[in-house]
Structure 1
Amino acid sequence: MTVQLYARDVGSGTPLVLLHAFPLSSAMWLNQREGLAARFRVITPDLRGFGGSILGDDEPSIDEMADDVARLFRRLGVARAVVGGLSMGGFVAMALCRRHPDLVMGVVLADTRAGEDSPEIRAARLAQAERLENEGTVRVLLDEVLPHLVGPTTFRQRALVYGRVRGLVQATPARAAAWAQRAMAARGESFETLRTLKVPALVMVGAEDTLATEADARAMADTIPNAELLVIARAGHLCAVEQPDLFNQAVAEFTAAIARMTG
């Protein structure tokens, strides 16, 4: 079935579409909407099943999620945009580059990986999906995923940020989280997509990220023909939430440079 994504759409100028991490929603981009909407049109969709978007009955698939985003572009009248994705949102952004390259004028890949899951990670995702479906709650995410979402600096020094992330995880529908885990477990690698990327890329990673490491980020940046790599200090897996000012500054400079090139 065709899923129509709910999206917040603020500001004007060059469109900047930001795709959220698992297991959060577009609410994670609050600081980006506030910090970037004065210069760009910031569009933050809820990926299917999360936030205000329905799940639908399709088989779990990152490609399906990318097609949802492509339909959103058409619905909002966006011809091309700078597309940013963090974590799961990065998987979707890379799938969008592969399936709908004409929509992408630049790509931001934050705290994500181009490689497919190891057998261990895939098994853990599927086990979590089982528990999510059987228990009908997100307890397994609070136990097993939340501890890895922020870095030790945030955990120790930014209690409000950690509390906000915990709240977003708690608000996640269990069925959507299970679907997304199955979609991520089934995805292939994206290095071939990155190798043939014809647009500029900004690869970012939190220095304290243990889920998508600096080595993962470097592997992506080394593969993309036109990429810059930025390591954000004192941030873990959610660098945009943990260090929003540094993230926003980098994305603003990158997007403004693309706007000048294409304008």
Structure 2
Amino acid sequence: MKATTARGTIEAGDVGEGRPVVLLHALALSGRLFDPIAAEWAPRRRVITPDARGHGGSDWDGRPFTGEDMADDVAALIETLVGGPADVIGMSMGGSTAVLLAQRRPDLVARLVLADATADYGPDRVQTWAERAEKAVNVPREKQVDFQIDRWFSPSFVEANADEVRRVCDIFVVTDSAAHAAACHALGTVAAVGELGTISAPTLVMVGDEDYATPPAMAEQLAAGIPDSRLEVLTATRHLSLIQRPDVWPEIEKHLDA
């Protein structure tokens, strides 16, 4: 569905009924990443899966944007579709967006899950993400896939779940390269560690122990800084933990329902 918000038109999946939960996807993917979770949870809750600006079917004017811009986009979507607070789950880029959302609009975040995420990619973040942005536009998308798969999933998962890996790769390949690059630059702007203590939503922080995109130390920093939070490190798991580990979905639901 297309949602017309105060921040522009945002494409979002919207299935199920009940307490709303908004799932924010990783870089260069889309809300379709969470289709398996949405199908599992729809009988029990309303699942909203927006596309970040320039990703999937969401609009983008081609201008640079920041992490705060992405957070404000989500705030506008929640206000438009829900009208009040929602549970929020963010993975990778979506996790950084969720951190900023919870800091900027605590009134819109009831309970929070941060998976494979960070509030700051470190002192070299601007340069690092500028280099990633350059590759996003200069390397053909199909030739970026092997690099992404190695970051996203453990080898054992790739071997045993070829269809699911292919599904995620198909989303990546059709993502606009310019939007991918712009989002890279946006991640380089995220520097929100100092404000973690302002997050009031009860928070579950999850990370794969093999995640080298956002290593466990980044998750530890989140859990140490957010007052009402709990950290869980998932064994033999890489960057897209919520896709690789459907066995943790019930634990996430338990956190949301607490």
Judge same fold: TM > 0.5, yes or no: yes
1:204-243 to structure 2, matched below 5 A, reads 204-243=206-245
Letter in 1 for 2:48: I
Cα displacement string for residues 68-123 of structure 1 (whole angstroms, at most 9, x for unaligned residues): 1111112113300111100000111011112111101111100011223341x543
What is the CA distance between 1:67 and its match in structure 2? Answer: 0.9
Instruction: Determine the C-alpha separation between the residues in 2 that align with 1:49 and 1:107.
Output: 24
> What residue number does 2:96 align with?
91
Q: Can you give the 5+ residue segments of structure 2 that lack an aligned partner in the other structure?
A: 1-5
What is the CA distance between 1:54 and its match in structure 2? Answer: 1.5
Aligned residue-pair number: 253
SS in 2 for 1:192: helix
Instruction: Determine the C-alpha separation between the residues in 2 that align with 1:140 and 1:193.
Output: 38
Q: Can you give the 5+ residue segments of structure 1 that lack an aligned partner in the other structure?
A: 258-263
> What residue number does 2:187 align with?
184
> What residue number does 1:156 align with?
159
Instruction: Determine the C-alpha separation between the residues in 2 that align with 1:64 and 1:58.
Output: 11
Is 1:106–2:107 an aligned residue pair?
no
What is the CA distance between 1:131 and its match in structure 2? Answer: 3.8
What is the CA distance between 1:256 and its match in structure 2? Answer: 0.9
What is the CA distance between 1:220 and its match in structure 2? Answer: 1.2
Q: Is the alpha carbon distance of 1:237 and 1:22 closer, same or farther for their aligned partners in structure 2, counting shifts above 3 Å?
A: same
Instruction: Determine the C-alpha separation between the residues in 1 that align with 2:221 and 2:36.
Output: 28
What is the CA distance between 1:127 and its match in structure 2? Answer: 2.2
Q: What's the RMSD between the two structures over aligned residues?
A: 1.9
Letter in 1 for 2:209: A
Is the contact made by 1:26 and 1:51 (CA closer than 8 Å) also made in structure 2? yes
SS in 1 for 2:10: coil
> What residue number does 1:21 align with?
26
Q: Is the alpha carbon distance of 1:145 and 1:80 closer, same or farther for their aligned partners in structure 2, counting shifts above 3 Å?
A: same
Structure 1: 4+ residue segments shifted above 6 A = none
Identity level (%): 35
Letter in 1 for 2:195: T
Letter in 1 for 2:214: A
Instruction: Determine the C-alpha separation between the residues in 1 that align with 2:7 and 2:245.
Output: 35
Is 1:127–2:128 an aligned residue pair?
no
Letter in 2 for 1:2: R
- Range with greater deviation from structure 2 (215-224 or 33-42): 215-224
Is the contact made by 2:151 and 2:239 (CA closer than 8 Å) also made in structure 1? yes
> What residue number does 2:85 align with?
80
